[in-house]
Amino acid sequence: MKVVDSTFLIGLLRNDPGAVEKARELDEEGGVATTAINVYEVAYGVHRVMSDPARRMGALERVLSNLDVLPLDGGSALRAAEISGSLDRSGEGIDPFDALIAGIVLENGGDCLVTGNASHFRRIRGLRVESH
């Protein structure tokens, strides 16, 4: 299962040609998900930036209706803490949201994270990253 992150979802909402093309590829492959953290990040951005968020929220909800949304549960939180602690010890700290996303992906058996911020995630052992 491939998991898409916030940058991908934002690209779809903006009708970015690269994200739209990647979405077509992912549709053909099947088994695409996102995480509850990514849903929060994108929805927060819509409510924070848009003067009329209802239209964009409708578009986000349509995109999400085609994806499984993986939850943040206890196992995912423990995996995220392991990721953060390990990277901090090696001097390569990571944003807490990125650690949570990676923890959810790995704990749920995701085989790849599709992102526009590959450099944020490439240093996480066991996580395959694909740019969009």
**What would the pLDDT profile of 60-69 be if each residue is shown by its tens digit?**
999 999 999 9
Cα–Cα distance measured from residue 122 to residue 42, given in angstroms and rounded to the nearest whole number: 22
Work out the percent of the chain whose per-residue pLDDT is above 70. 100
pTM of the model: 0.93
Contact indicator for 97, 117 with CB cutoff of 8 Å: no
Q: Say if residue 15's pLDDT is above 90.
A: yes
Contact indicator for 28, 58 with CB cutoff of 8 Å: no
Angle (deg, nearest 10), helices 53-64 and 6-13: 120
Domain ranges of the chain: 2-131
* pLDDT digits 0-9 by tens, 72-112: 999 999 999 999 999 999 999 999 999 999 999 999 999 89
Adjacent-strand bridge partners of 2: 32, 112
Say what the pLDDT of residue 41 is. 97
Which CATH superfamily does the domain covering 2-131 fall into?
Answer: 5'-nuclease (3.40.50.1010)
